[in-house]
Amino acid sequence: MILALFEDPGYESLWPLTATAPLYLLKVGPYRLYELWGHALGVNEYALFCRRELEGFIDWLLNRVEGRGVEVNPEQLDDDVVAVNAAYLPLPDAAKVVRELMSVAGNVIAHRGGRPLAIRATRTTASSLAEAMRGVLESELLLSMMEAFEDIPVAGRGEVSSIEGLCSHFEELLAAALESLGRGGVVVEEGARVEEHVVLREPAYVGRGVVVEPYSVIEGSSVEGPSRVGGYLSYTLVSAYSTVYVSRLERTVLAGANVIGPYSSSVGGGARALGFAARLMPSSALLGSSAVGVASLVSGLFEGRLEDGSAYEGGRIRRVTRDEAIGALRHQLSQFGRLPSDYELSFIERALGRSRERAER
């Protein structure tokens, strides 16, 4: 059986994390979310469906960089399929629902309020399903196929439609990932460097190529390498190529190539997220429920939503320039010995394009 992951229009509710990648690419501990689904279901053959503009990037990242051999937006599926919405997390309730679908002989859609969360399709129906899932699975396309499917409503945990919802499940996801790895509740990968007087409280994961600065505390958090972190991280996810300078982060998700601090914080009720290449400048803070867009920056105290390609400085918002955004990305990645890929540069260009469109309205 093939495990497929797909996006629907609800991906927008998880901005800015989903601005540059589907949620199933998010890495929690040693595994991406789609891999955690594979572990939960005992399936190791994947097909990943995504927005057309992200297809090349995902294929480059997973197959050329990481050598995984995963099909991205395949034209057809040649076996029985269980397809899972990218916004459906591999929590126990959700995994139970999907396992039950896998045992059904026919075609079934599990949904909540009409939103498809998991789909079981036989081999004869799988090709039509693949066509519908390439891009974003629109309800109209799904409705056109419904005659061939039984539909069942589902309850229980697993569906997320906000950054706060994602963060509320983060500790459980990380614990499940580390349990699957089988190396205890605190894992420091070979090639990571943890300096003196560092406290790691489970569940905690420090990936290959991560440097943890002296006197840091990491609890309930996952740091993907290569990155460099220092300060206090609590129930926080740090994606690759990020730098956290002596700062305090709580219930925060960094999408990648981020810069935090020094002496900055992301604290308070709710949860916070920084999109790809977003920056929190020295002695600045994200408060409450906040989201900072792709290539954006915050200088000062900020709470709320800062759109892609924007700079918040002392209470005022301006557009980030192309030279500024690309220069910052090049500088950040150079700290880890690499240059931006064409795909990453395109993320910046699209973010700045959205910023121009807003300014012209």
**What is the DSSP annotation of 126-176?**
HHHHHHHHSS---HHHHHHHGGG-EEEE--SS-B--SHHHHHHTHHHHHHH
Structure tokens at 48: 């990943």
pLDDT, one tens digit per residue, over 282-307 is: 999 999 999 999 999 999 999 999 99
Neighbours of 39 (CB within 10 A): 17
Q: Look at residue 148 in the predicted model and tell me its pLDDT.
A: 72
Q: Look at residue 335 in the predicted model and tell me its pLDDT.
A: 96
Q: What is the CATH number of domain 166-360?
A: 2.160.10
pLDDT, one tens digit per residue, over 156-212 is: 889 999 999 999 999 999 999 999 999 999 999 999 999 999 999 999 999 999 999
Dihedral, CA atoms, 217, 221, 253, 267, nearest 10 degrees? -40
The predicted model gives 227-234 an average pLDDT of 98
CATH of the structural domain 2-161, one choice from 3.90.550.10, 3.30.420.130, 3.40.50.2000, 1.10.3720.10:
3.90.550.10
Residue 51: is its pLDDT beyond 70? Answer: yes
CATH 2.160.10 location in the chain: 166-360
Q: Return the DSSP state at 268.
A: S
Q: Look at residue 210 in the predicted model and tell me its pLDDT.
A: 98
Q: Look at residue 35 in the predicted model and tell me its pLDDT.
A: 97
Residue among 218, 228, 221, 193 at smallest CA distance from 332: 228
Q: Look at residue 146 in the predicted model and tell me its pLDDT.
A: 61
| pTM score | 0.95
Q: Look at residue 127 in the predicted model and tell me its pLDDT.
A: 83
Structure tokens at 20: 């540059």
Residues above pLDDT 90, as percent of the chain = 86
Q: Look at residue 156 in the predicted model and tell me its pLDDT.
A: 84
CA atoms within 13 A on the CB side of 28: 29
pLDDT, one tens digit per residue, over 88-125 is: 999 999 999 999 999 998 899 999 988 899 999 999 88
The predicted model gives 8-26 an average pLDDT of 96
Looking at this protein, which amino acid is placed at residue 210? V
Neighbours of 53 (CB within 10 A): 13
Q: Look at residue 189 in the predicted model and tell me its pLDDT.
A: 98
Which one has a higher pLDDT value, 249 or 157?
249
